[in-house]
Structure 1
């Protein structure tokens, strides 16, 4: 991340269109040579990301990146940095808005008080709306925050209790955490990877 410099005639002008947030996301990337390497996202905005990476491509080279929580991102290298490089993200306005929402969630995750489950990667569903069925068969509307193979976090207006058995869509789960920021539930049977992406429907 660039450091603030004293004002001078030669100081670069900040031209970033999106506010960057500090992140710590592991992933992998592929250069045009089709070689893959591990990486770590250091800071990010809907328009770009700074990666810590062992191998650096050339300015303008196309890169495909897979990051935990966020999935696939494509872009071009715009800057070489110590220990890595920065890319500009090429995407549609709709996907850019979605990425902005995902980054907001990541930035505020600690404030929400939801548990960080690193056993499995998490995705933010393309369609977050779902139905949660309570033990008495009452159905309530909910909005998924994110989903992993082992569980899900969601918002709903109904007060749930820890240990409660529920259905999230058609998937049986047990409530493991309730806070002002949302509800975390663990699936009774973990999901399989063949149905696990941003198009997931529970």
Structure 2
């Protein structure tokens, strides 16, 4: 399918970047997510690289070749496919998607690939909510604990009100949940979780 798209007539210039992406190798992109195998159990994962036709995952539980997989990736959403290759520490998925969905994935991958170099803001594609209990303890790499307040939370991360500003990229514990600092804003920080919260646990009564 990707080759067929690449051989098609040129699209208007505004779509050129997405078309270029479909003709090239997978984009190295790290996104947290979850996947469901045929046993209907969910497991956490992280992407290594991705194209509109496939994605390589790091994960603990491997499936079987040609086994159907349902994925939920932050900033991409729900996608389906089959296991194409088993790899050390994970597997590669051949995506099953309509041409329109592939176009959408290509555009999103183009944005992700250029986000850092262009200084674009981090996308927020997950639903966000404010839990009933907002007081939380933030533990830094040094072991120091500081008070923080949850502004809002998604399955992939949390915005915290705190006077402490750890360096970007460092690991922290938000309550009992590990994450890393990914952005600053006035009066607080944004933390991305190491593993996303399961959808069945994501509600206003959750505790980290």
Distance 1:57 1:18, change over 3 A: farther
Provide the C-alpha distance between the structure 1 equivalents of 2:100 and 2:118, rounded to a whole number of angstroms.
Answer: 25
* Aligned positions of 1:53-202 closer than 5 A: 53-116=59-122, 121-122=124-125
Deviation of 1:17 after TM superposition, in Å, equals 6.4
Match of 2:48 in 1: 42
CA distance in 2: counterparts of 1:20 and 1:115, whole angstroms: 22
Where 2:50 maps in the other structure, the secondary structure is strand
Asked whether the equivalents of residues 18 and 47 of structure 1 are also in contact (C-alpha less than 8 Å), the reply is no
Q: Name the SS of the counterpart of 2:101 in structure 1.
A: helix
Question: CA-to-partner distance for each residue in 1:163-201, whole Å, 9 max, x for gaps?
Answer: xxxxxxxxxxxxx8xxxxxxxxxxxxxxxxxxxxxxxxx
Partner of 1:28: 34
Tell me how far apart the structure 1 counterparts of residues 64 and 74 of structure 2 sit (CA, whole Å).
24
- Aligned-pair Cα RMSD in Å: 2.8
How many residues are paired up?
A: 112
What secondary structure sits across from 1:101 in the alignment? Answer: helix
Shift of 1:56: 0.4
After TM superposition, give the deviation of residue 115 of structure 1 in Å. 3.4
SS of the residue 2:108 aligns to:
helix
SS at match of 1:43: strand
Matched residues in 2 for 1:70 and 1:98: separation? 9
Which residue matches 1:165? Answer: none
Shift of 1:109: 0.2
TM-score (normalizing by structure 2): 0.49
- CA drift of 1:73 comes to 1.0
**Residues of 1 paired with 2:94 and 2:41: CA distance?**
20
In structure 2, how many angstroms separate the alpha carbons of the residues matched to 1:63 and 1:98? 20
Q: Which runs of 5+ in 2 are unaligned?
A: 1-21, 127-152, 159-184, 186-208
User: What SS class does the counterpart of residue 41 from structure 1 fall into?
Assistant: strand
Q: Where do 5+ consecutive residues of structure 1 fail to align?
A: 1-15, 124-147, 151-175, 177-202
The list of structure 1 runs, each at least 4 consecutive aligned residues, that deviate by more than 6 angstroms after superposition, is: none
